[in-house]
Each structure stands twice: as structure tokens, then as C-alpha cells.
């Protein structure tokens, strides 16, 4: 999210950085008094993957501020080829799922978990 709001000659800038919303206030010069505040809001989708590295079985722990709802999982090779896709429904604010990835060769893969409000990507390593 990138949004700029102008008021009383100042600029208020909203940026999304690593799933966090950063709000910055830019005041025109000359300025005799300055007060700067930064506010961070939590990402609506958090993802923990363990163990990582793994021998082929991983557990996903997804959580959010509210009920997660429909989730879409995609595992792709480091070259971008989609290898696995799955859909889940999480009626609560926390969801856990164990995945058997033993059929994948040893290597680095990208795991992407999407909800209606956010997308989280994480690198996973399979060791044999």
C-alpha cells in the first residue's frame, strides 16, 4: 500500500514494508518544531514453517488477526516452476497443516501462502 495525503503544507506518506505499514510525516522547510512518530501495524497473515531445513515433512503454522478463511498454498522450484498447489479453509485465526514433501528432490523451494488479505512467501530447504 502506497498512499500520500497532503494537509497544511505537510505530506503524510503510508508505505507497506515487509508486511508492516510505515507512516512517515514530511514537513516543509523551514520548520521550527519537529516531532516524528512511526506506527507499525501487524501483518494480517503470519507464517511459520518448521523444521526448516527438513528431510521432507514440514509443518505450516499460519495465523492472523482475524479468521483466516480461504488459504491457497503454492510450492515452486527456485526457477519458478509450480510443483504443488493446495487450497485450505481456516475458519479461525490460527491454522496448522503438515505437508509431506518427501517426493521432492533435495534443494531450495519457495512456499507461498495467500489469503484474501495478504501473501507470505518463505524459502524452504529439503535435505536428503
What digits encode the pLDDT tens for the residues 103-116?
999 999 999 999 88
Judgement on whether residues 34 and 51 belong to the same structural domain of the protein: no
pTM of the model: 0.65
Judgement on whether residues 95 and 36 belong to the same structural domain of the protein: no
Distance between CA atoms of 47 and 40, rounded to whole angstroms?
18
Judgement on whether residues 67 and 98 belong to the same structural domain of the protein: yes
Distance between CA atoms of 19 and 37, rounded to whole angstroms?
19
Q: Which structural domain, as residue segments, surrounds residue 105?
A: 46-126
Judgement on whether residues 29 and 80 belong to the same structural domain of the protein: no
Judgement on whether residues 67 and 105 belong to the same structural domain of the protein: yes
What digits encode the pLDDT tens for the residues 57-86?
999 999 887 778 899 999 999 999 999 999
Report the candidate in 65, 71, 67, 66 with the shortest Cα–Cα distance to residue 111: 71
> How many domains are contained in the chain?
2
Amino acid at each position: 500500500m502506497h498512499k500520500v495525503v497532503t494537509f497544511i503544507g505537510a505530506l503524510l506518506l503510508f508505505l507497506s514494508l515487509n508486511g508492516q505499514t510505515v507512516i512517515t510525516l514530511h514537513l516543509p522547510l523551514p520548520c521550527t518544531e519537529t516531532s516524528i512518530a512511526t506506527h507499525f501495524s501487524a501483518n494480517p497473515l503470519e507464517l511459520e514453517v518448521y523444521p526448516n531445513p527438513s528431510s521432507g515433512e514440514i509443518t505450516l503454522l499460519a495465523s492472523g488477526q482475524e479468521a483466516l478463511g480461504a488459504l491457497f498454498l503454492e510450492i515452486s522450484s527456485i526457477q519458478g516452476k509450480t510443483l504443488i498447489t493446495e487450497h485450505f479453509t481456516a475458519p479461525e485465526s490460527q491454522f496448522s497443516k503438515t505437508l509431506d514433501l518427501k517426493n521432492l528432490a533435495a534443494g531450495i523451494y519457495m512456499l507461498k501462502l495467500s489469503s484474501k488479505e495478504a501473501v507470505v512467501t518463505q524459502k524452504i530447504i529439503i535435505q536428503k
